[in-house]
Structure 1
Amino acid sequence: MAAYSYKGISKTGKEVKGVREAVSRQVLTSELLSEGIFVSSISDMREKQPFFAKLQEIFAKKLNLSDTFFQLSLLLRSGIPLVEALKIVAKSTKEQHLKNALLESASKVSEGMRFSDSLSKYPKIFEPMYVNLIKASEQVGKLAAILADIAVYEEDKRKNTDKIKTAMVYPMTILVMGFAVLGFLLAFVVPKMESIFASMKQQIPASTQFLLHVSDFVSEYGLVLLLFIMFIIFSIRYLYRNNNKFRLALDKKLFKINLVSHVSVSKFAHVLSFQLKEGLPLTDALHYASLVIDNKYMYNIVSQVRESVQAGTKFSVAVRNAGIFPELFPAAVSTGESSGNMPELLERVNEFYSKNVDKFLTSFISAIEPIFIVIIGVLVGFIVVSIMQPLFSMNSLVQ
């Protein structure tokens, strides 16, 4: 969906304007007419935004949601009305897309719309899970508290994502730089040495001959090989995104890897615990928790578990029957059902698997860094020795 700014006249003759997401201008016009607003103009916000503003729009959700919810919670607890709080937070928000959503929400709330309903018009920014938690809090008067909890949850989610990304930056940098150096040597340095070797009236060592063959191949077919590799990568990515059978088959194999299953189960347990603690019904919590699961195979299983629970099966029984969860998860669910503290036990499951993932990543990075360095060092060393060996031989003959 795109964001559109609009101007119009209400039934009372009052001029109204705002910003709203919609599939198209026509759909937005129909929505506004159904609300009694006669549209005078609609413009696409993207046409008014410079390139960097569009980039900010893409990353708005990642950068500012935690701060947004925390500030709203703080202002509400200070006694500031919701409409004013939304305007204050919007004023301090740099991301234009998020600012527009907050201002539009403030406008709708001032007209009598519920806060949760105003947020639901921006599903790309505010997750449906958050909207439903806010809707539940509106009924019991706990809006400030739930906004604070969402802020903490959003911050924890961001930290966990950043932790994995940060852990992979250094080894990937070493790998990319190493292969860049190798490519430069093979494509530019070695070919220049080939004419020198050709003028030598002596047998070239086997390692040097092999290096020259590799260099010729890289020089002639390197670009084709690179394009082929990129084609394979993008083909797999395309199939993964657009072919459900391919994605399901691949995700099923990936789920058998402990790291993947532990990350998925940890995230699922954390989201489920958070929602149950805030009072959402189990079936609703399972639905919204399933939406955060990236693995299609696990998503399908969780959907089946939810259907079983809706049909009357105990949650612990449905989880055990699924047969894919590590033993700790169904044990925690079973104990939680008996003791009534399922949210706390699910959070402990999350903490346990999060620690396991952290330990694995720490060990993996500690092991992979020297391995990458050694591999790149050996390859570069082989190239240097293969180049220098015939030169030393020629020098000894001259002497």
Structure 2
Amino acid sequence: MRAEGLAVTGEQVKAACLEGTGAPCLVILGGGQLARMLALAAMPLGCRVRCVETHADCPAAWVAPVTTVPSWEDVRAVVSAVGAEGVVTLENEFIPDGTIEALAARGRTVLPGFATMRRIRDKFLQKTTLADAGLPVPAFAPVAGPEEIRTRGASWGWPVVLKARCHGYDGKGNATLQGPEDAEEAWRRLGGPSGRALYVEAFCPFDREIAVQVTRGRDGRSVVYPVVETVQRNHICHHVLAPARLGGPLAARAAELAQAAVECVGGVGTFGVEMFLDAEGGLWINELAPRVHNSGHYTIEACECSQFENHVRAVLGWPLGSPRMRAPAAAMVNLLGRTAGSGRVRGLEQALAIPGVHVHLYGKSRCAPGRKMGHVTALAAAVEEALERAAAAARAIRFGEDPQEV
């Protein structure tokens, strides 16, 4: 199609048509699997979705247009890529404070907002905010060197956990120290000598790890998803059981704590709240994620309104949907890379032959050990049955191997 001698692309025609519908626009900072699933949830609601990323080869590019920027620290490039239209939300907590603040200063609606992200992005500030609100967290303190780590370990008892204040996830940026002899090496490995801000935390001798998704709207109203049990291997979530095998009063207490945690940081959108359950039935908040969360992927099939759809509803100011489960139980198993190589999928047909499973592949072009390449969810009458089905499907799927090895 041409107008006045100028070539008009299909994308321009599509954009013009969409603009004419008055459809709301959602701009996602980040283009990973969480952005991909947010986009898929937003589109049935009539939303136009755009993503901003630092690289074009990302999972969200399969489902939504992606604008690339040199880095998240390049404020001018990010502001230009975001544009002047739509509500801005975040796929992860690694966008620098200055970039978020610059968008807000230019009148852009960014949710979760700058104040919330500042409290959460720095995990020491996050713990301080939770503690100041009277919520249960393990003992913690900033440290400026190995000797301060040893002092805290002597006071609290060993082991202790040394953590990076920023940019730590899936076990990256954490180190468990069994005794004072581990302090020097851990301090060096986590970047203390080069100025990386670290803090130390008392080790919580937990019996189980649990998580709760909370979606909080612009009006302060919240919905709380069922408490789930998470199983970690090598600091990476392996599978999730919904609902967690807890007594009613304990589950209610966990839901109450999760909702209070999101409220105390002024959150808007879906948040993941990770907790420890100790042997005496005590609950301790481990971490608050200001975004849709891996432990909530089961909600796509298992709940009346998924964590992704409710996040979209929340940031756009719409009524929140029901978090109620559609089946008595569900299990989600992460598909994790085993070797470095291509992201080519093997065994999908075998997985799909298992009744009642739902396979989600993220479209990542490269595989690496421990990298999240997708997930499988199954619904059933009991969590054990759901886990058996989901695990069987997950075992069938491989990434990057030679066909003869499958």
TM-score range, shorter chain: under 0.3
TM-score normalised by structure 1 residue count: 0.24
Q: State which structure, 1 or 2, has the greater radius of gyration over its C-alpha atoms.
A: 1
* Larger strand percent: 2
User: If each structure's helix is expressed as a fraction of its own residues, which one has the higher value?
Assistant: 1
